[in-house]
Amino acid sequence: MAIEDIGLVGINVRMWRHLAVLYPTPGSSWRKFAFVLPVTAMNLMQFVYLLRMWGDLPAFILNMFFFSAIFNALMRTWLVIIKRGQFEEFLDQLSTLFHSILDSTDEWGRGILRRAEQEARNLAILNLSASFLDIVGALVSPLFREERAHPFGVALPGVSMTSSPIYEVIYLAQLPTPLLLSMMYMPFVSLFAGLAIFGKAMLQLLVHRLAQIGGAEQPEEERLQRLASCVAYHTQLCVAAQHTGGQHCGCGSHYFWLHNLLTALLPEYYNLTHPGDLDSDVHPDHAVRALHLLQPRQ
C-alpha cells in the first residue's frame, strides 16, 4: 500500500506528489515552481499594496490579514520543498507504523485505525471545500462593488491597477487563486490534523493493550511479554511525535505570533469602519496589545 492509499494523509500527499512538492521526478520537478512562483509574485504585489495603504489603518489591517494568510501558505509550502527529504522519511515511518497495526491480529486496533482514517479523510475534504468556497467568495466580491478593486489588494510600483486594460488582466490572472491557494494552504493543515487524529487512535490502542495485562489466569511470563510489547509500542509513538513536532515547529511559532497580532487588530479594524456597533467589551487598547506583540523579547 502506497502512502497515498493511507486515508490519514492520502489526499494531502497525493496533491503534493502531483505538484512535485514531495516525491518529484525529473519530468515533474518543474511543477512545484509553476505552482509556487505565481503565488509568490502575487504576495509581493500584496506587500506593495500594503505600503500604499500605510496611512489608511482600516484598509491596512484588512489587507494585512490577506497578505499574512497567503504568506503563511507560501512559507509552509517552501518549508516542505526545502525539507522534502525529512518529510518523505517521516511519511515512510508513518506508513511502517500504520501497517504494523493494520497487519496485526488485533481486530479492535484495526477498527480504531479505520475510523481514524475516515475522520481524517472527511476533515481534509471539508478543509479543502471550505477554503475553496471562501476564496471564491473573495474573488467575486469586487464584482458587486461600486468602485473597482482587486480581491486580495495587489499593486505594482508606478502602475494604476484600476485602469483598463490593466485591471482586467490582473483580475483574470487571479481567477486560479481558489484552486492554487486551497491546494497550497490546506494540505499542510489537514496533514497535521490527520496526524493528531492518528495520535489519538494510537493512544487509545495503547490503553487497550495495557488493559489486557493482568488477571489471575494470565501467566507472569505472558504479562512481561505484553508489557514489553507496550513499552516498545510507546517508544514508537514517542519517536513519531518527536518527528511530527520537528516538522511543524519550523513555521508554527511565526504563524502563532502573526495570528495573535491580527486577532488583536481585527476588532480595532471593525471599530474604525463601524463606530459604535461593537459592545463596550471591545476596547481601543486592542491595538496597543497588538503593537505590544511587535516588541522584541529578551
Which pLDDT tens digits describe the chain residue by residue (298 residues)?
A: 678 888 888 999 999 999 999 999 999 999 999 999 999 999 999 999 988 888 777 778 778 888 888 998 898 899 889 989 988 888 888 888 888 888 877 788 888 889 999 999 999 999 999 999 999 998 998 888 888 888 888 999 888 888 989 999 999 999 999 999 999 888 888 888 888 888 888 888 877 777 777 766 767 777 677 777 777 766 766 666 665 555 544 444 444 444 444 444 445 444 545 555 544 444 444 444 433 444 444 4
Query: Are 95 and 3 within 8 A, CB to CB?
Result: yes
The overall longest dimension of the chain from CA atoms, in Å, is: 85
Q: Is the pTM of the predicted complex or chain greater than 0.85?
A: no
| Span between the terminal Cα atoms of the chain, in Å | 49
